[in-house]
Amino acid sequence: MRFRNRLQAWLIRRQPESTEWTLRQQRIYLLPTTFGWTLLGVALAIWVGALNYAVSLAYALSFWIIGLLLVSVLMAYRQLAGLTLQAGAADPVFAGETAHFEVRLDNPSAWPRTLQGHLAGRAERAVGCQLPSRSSTWLSLPMTAEKRGLQAMPALALSSDVPFGLIRAFAYVRLREHVLVYPAPLRDGLRHGQGASGEGEAVLPAGEDEFSHLAAYRDGDTSRQIAWKVLARRDVLASKQFTGATAAGCRLLDWHDYPPGQGVESRLSWLAWRVLECERERCCYRLRLPGVEVGPQPHQRERALALLARFGALS
């Protein structure tokens, strides 16, 4: 097992990283399967018996088995040769969830392909794929996101032992793709035992607000927020969103809400939970971290969670 892992790591290191790959001869490896090694041993035993007893049929059987193995080499190689791979976008996930890397497979040849794919070190999560001639498909490869931040896609391992299961063709490909992993949300019991809107939630005072953007109307929006001109022109009910350092009624989610002794990851998880709670309650909020702030704006949820995910890597 150690030798296999070292060999796999060495083969992966030899591959440069790219957003698109076409499998050629120098990147495809071939080895007999367990059944293939067994059949090769049987052919060798029959050949030795034929030498000792001069049995012509034994020679023929031995050479027929070896010929079958040689044909299997060509057939297995053809399953991967010429295949084009391209990395797709991976949707962000929270730490502890399963991320899915999307890989596009293009088969330019006139014969169908049958293969399996998995991320290096995760053979137990292999995904099968049937690829008809001159067609394309997407392969979704799962990976458990163990920690927050920008996680690179591990090397992709493709393999096939079609059609006889005697020879296994395999290749390792390093695709340039990443997935953003948000901190795992952790209920903020330190400051908000009754929920995100519990006592102690900091609220910014009212003041001179600046227009930020238009958003869909939500129950509870005041008449001041309704975009009357948009309603008159398009018959669409929309709300004006405001921003600024003194935005009225905005909750302040601040890094310094917690004592200095609290760990970085705990703070990030609590803040992520508070962001989700504000989104669930559809209320105005501002996220403030050391040196940076995210206020009301389009796609605020994604921007705020991305800031928490990348915290410490931006400095």
Percent of the chain scoring above 70 in pLDDT: 81
Say whether both 164 and 291 belong to one domain: no
Q: If pLDDT is split at 50, 70 and 90, which confidence band does 54 have? A: confident
Domain, as residue range, for 256? 244-309
| Residue where one domain finishes, among candidates 181, 203, 219 | 181
Contact 303, 180 (CB under 8 A): no
> Of 54-63, 209-218, 242-251, which gets the smallest average pLDDT?
242-251
Say whether both 176 and 254 belong to one domain: no
Say whether both 175 and 33 belong to one domain: yes
pLDDT at 258: 87
Backbone phi, psi, residue 108, to 5°: -85, -5
Say whether both 43 and 161 belong to one domain: yes
Q: Return d(Cα 39, Cα 44) in angstroms, integer.
A: 9
pLDDT at 185: 94
Residue 200 lies in a domain: no
Residue 217 lies in a domain: no
Judged against a pLDDT cut of 80, whether residue 221 lies above it is answered with no
Say whether both 16 and 149 belong to one domain: yes
Q: If pLDDT is split at 50, 70 and 90, which confidence band does 309 have? A: very high
Percent of the chain scoring above 90 in pLDDT: 56
| Residue where one domain finishes, among candidates 162, 181, 200 | 181
Say whether both 175 and 250 belong to one domain: no
Judged against a pLDDT cut of 60, whether residue 148 lies above it is answered with yes
Note the pTM of the prediction, 2 decimals: 0.74
| Residue where one domain finishes, among candidates 164, 181, 198 | 181
Judged against a pLDDT cut of 70, whether residue 169 lies above it is answered with yes
Measured N-to-C along each axis, helices 264-281 and 300-309 cross at an angle, to the nearest 10 degrees, of: 170
Residue 32 lies in a domain: yes
Domain count, the chain: 2
Judged against a pLDDT cut of 60, whether residue 204 lies above it is answered with no
Judged against a pLDDT cut of 70, whether residue 71 lies above it is answered with yes
Say whether both 170 and 252 belong to one domain: no
